[in-house]
A and B are shown apart, each in its own frame.
Chain A
Amino acid sequence: MTEALSDRGPLPTMTARPEGLLRQIVRHRHDYLYVLPSLIVMLIVIAYPIYYTIELSFYRTPPNLQMRDKIWTGLDNYGTVLSSASFRAVTLNTLIWTVASTGIAFVLGVCAALSLHREFAGRGMLRALLLIPYVVSAVAASYVWKWLYHSDFGVFGAMSVAVGLTDRPINFIDNIYTVLPSLIVVNIWREFSFAMIMIMAGLQTVPEQLLRAAQVDGANAWQRFWHVTAPHLAGVSMVTVLLLMVANFNSFIIPWIMTGGGPAGASDIWITQIYQIAFGRQRWGVASAYAVILFIVLMGLGYFYVKALTRGDRGRAE
């Protein structure tokens, strides 16, 4: 018994006629089934908390007040956050943290992927070793690096004295100027291999023939990279950078466990500040407002990127 063609979904050769939204939804109802499980999970576990947080951001919840007795304050919390003395410093820290971590990790990842692209003895082993930091938990990494950086007994400090670089062990995390770069190094250590494997996967899609053709035409290695390889990596790169940026913006464990945002708030980023305000100072309203601000900023960035990414999808769909 042959089914009507329309029951099996439209074939790509049919042209789409403009139709009403409702009819579109009805026609595509089977498609929604594919996303339904994801949708349900998202709705429950994302929608409610977002709603709750946004709602809470308009209230005031000091330590001696029950949550259900919270006081409506409108946009006051946002004002408090934006005008607070530490906001500028923490924002600067967050920017430095995010941009430096993302950028350097990405560049390292690309270089590593390119270096590993050609076959050589021990390549598999090397790649595996380089992936280990990504796989190790952030908690574990934080403790290990905290020990490495220790101001009194750490090995890095001792090494710098041993080779005669400094008189006293270098102070990495107990110094307000060096603490943020030190933490960024830890973050990069953990993340670069993520970028590496993403780019490696992307490199697989670069056609060998094009590269060989370019070589025959006399292009040097840099030109080959820039004109043949890089365009094929554009999509993967954008995804990687976006994911890294989002992860770094909200990266909590490393700064929190290693320094708790200190000393004197020098390693405080938005997310540790939010945690401190919420759990340490019990100002849930202010913390929620802070979170909403962070979210809006990220959303702006993300929207821009997603637009760029989904541009290429039209050709693949039916």
Chain B
Amino acid sequence: MSVRKRIDGWRWAGRVFLTLLLIFTVLPMVWMILTSVKSQFAAMQYPPQWWPAEPTLQNYVKLLDVTNRVGREFLLYFWNSLYVSTATTILGVAVAVPAAYAFSRFRFPGRTFLFFAVLLRNMFPAVVFLMPLFLLMRWMGLVGTHAALILTYLTFGLPLSIWLLKGFYDNIPVQLEQAARIDGATRFQAFLLIVMPLSMPGIIATAIFSFIGAWNEYVYAATFINDQDRMTLPVGIQRFFAEFATDWPGLMAATFLMSVPVVVMFLVLQKYFVKALTEGAVKA
């Protein structure tokens, strides 16, 4: 009897905590959506309208309407972001997976140093790198191209990706590969056919982090890309609401639309990720 009471206490504490946390998380987004359906003046009132007196979808229509220039620009930025983020993700995974495997399994000279060097990148303030990286991209002839961004984003995501994947590989028993090698597989085959599939949850997690990181990045995209046709979403949105007007409802609508793809993608993949993770843990 007393055991049950104690469990109930923790469980209720957990529920209260989660409720508060949920409110904390969701409230800003709710207010963002509420603002985005207000007309511009309705937002500029004190005390504010708790619920919009005349909700309007005009801000969204303006952004998504392909026939008007705003809509076309928005969709262009959207497409650019999609392209850059996807490319970064694919390349990031392709580069991080073998590296993480090597750090997990092998012992070669300089291993600790390299492992540490991978983390080094994140420690240097990214904004200071703006100038030298620009010069570097210039030297490689990549200024103003998406390739410059992809290359830069790769290095942002690599440390975390390698950390994550290394953790997954650490959890996969060596015996599986050993068994495969005794059966005649080369080390690379064992890696490719046995280990990689088992680390799918990790790879997916890596992919998600890479994609989101690239999608949301602002500072480098603003510096490397001047051509309006090549801009990504965060930079493009800044353009909409530059110095001479702060259209809060429009801005809220734009940020909502900018967040939707990543959130949706994440929600869809997240279930798969957790499912695979659970199964992976059970198997291990």
Residues of chain A touching chain B, judged by Cβ–Cβ distance below 8 Å, are 8-9, 11-12, 21, 24-25, 28, 30-35, 37-39, 41-42, 44-46, 48-50, 52-53, 108, 111-112, 114-116, 118, 124, 126-141, 143-145, 147-148, 152-155, 158, 161-162, 169, 189, 192-193, 201, 204-205, 220-221, 235-236, 239, 243, 246-247, 249-250, 252-253, 270-271, 274-275, 278, 284, 287-288, 291, 294-295, 298-299, 302-303, 306, 310, 313, 316-318
Contacts and interface: CB of A to CB of B under 8 A. Distances in A.
Contacts of B181: 8-9, 11
A134 B259 CA distance: 11
A45 B44 contact: no
Contacts of A291: 124-125, 128
Given A31-B102, A158-B46, A294-B124, 4 more contacts: A49-B132, A144-B31, A148-B28, A153-B48
B161 to A, nearest CB: 9
Interface in B223-282: 234, 237-238, 248, 251-252, 255, 258-259, 262-263, 266-267, 270-271, 274, 277-278, 281
Interface string B80-116: 0000000000000011101101111111110010111
B159 to A, nearest CB: 8
A139 B262 CA distance: 14
B87 to A, nearest CB: 14
Contacts of A126: 18, 22
Interface in B144-179: 151-152, 154-155, 158, 160, 162-163, 167, 170-171, 174, 178
Nearest to A133: B25
A98 B65 CA distance: 42
Which of A130, A137, A204 has most chain B Cβ within 10 Å?
A: A137
Contacts of B255: 136-137, 139-140, 143-144
26 contacts: A24-B109, A31-B108, A34-B99, A35-B102, A38-B118, A45-B151, A112-B17, A115-B15, A124-B271, A128-B270, A132-B25, A132-B263, A133-B25, A135-B259, A144-B29, A147-B32, A147-B35, A153-B45, A205-B281, A274-B128, A275-B127, A302-B116, A302-B119, A302-B123, A310-B112, A317-B107
A255 B101 CA distance: 37
Nearest to B161: A38
Given A11-B178, A153-B48, A38 B129 contact: no
A46 B120 contact: yes
B117 interface: yes
Interface residue SS majority, chain B: helix
A316 B170 contact: yes
A143 B171 CA distance: 41
Given A53-B132, A275-B127, A246 B105 contact: no
Given A9-B187, A35-B99, A162-B47, A189 B24 contact: yes
Contact of B6 (A147, A220, A287): A220
B83 to A, nearest CB: 17
A39 B94 CA distance: 13
Interface size class of chain B, counting residues whose CB lies under 8 Å from the partner chain = 35 or more
A252 B17 contact: no
Contacts of B22: 126, 129-130
A143 B124 contact: no
Interface residue SS majority, chain A: helix
Contacts of B215: 137
A137 B218 contact: yes
Contacts, number: 278
Contacts of A130: 21-22, 25
Contacts of A24: 108-109
Contact of B127 (A139, A271, A313): A271
Given A34-B98, A189-B25, A137 B167 contact: no
A270 B7 CA distance: 46
B158 A316 contact: no
A137 B234 contact: yes
B135 interface: yes
Given A8-B186, A130-B25, A306 B119 contact: yes
Contacts of B158: 38, 41-42
A114 to B, nearest CB: 7
A33 to B, nearest CB: 8
Given A50-B124, A278-B131, A41 B155 contact: yes
Nearest to A300: B123
B156 to A, nearest CB: 10
A147 B44 CA distance: 11
B101 A34 contact: yes
B219 interface: yes
A220 B6 CA distance: 8
B120 A38 contact: no
Nearest to A252: B127
B135 to A, nearest CB: 7
Contacts of B43: 153
Contacts of A12: 174, 178
B162 to A, nearest CB: 7
B25 A278 contact: no
A270 B125 contact: yes
Contacts of B277: 201, 204
Contact of B94 (A37, A139, A288): A37
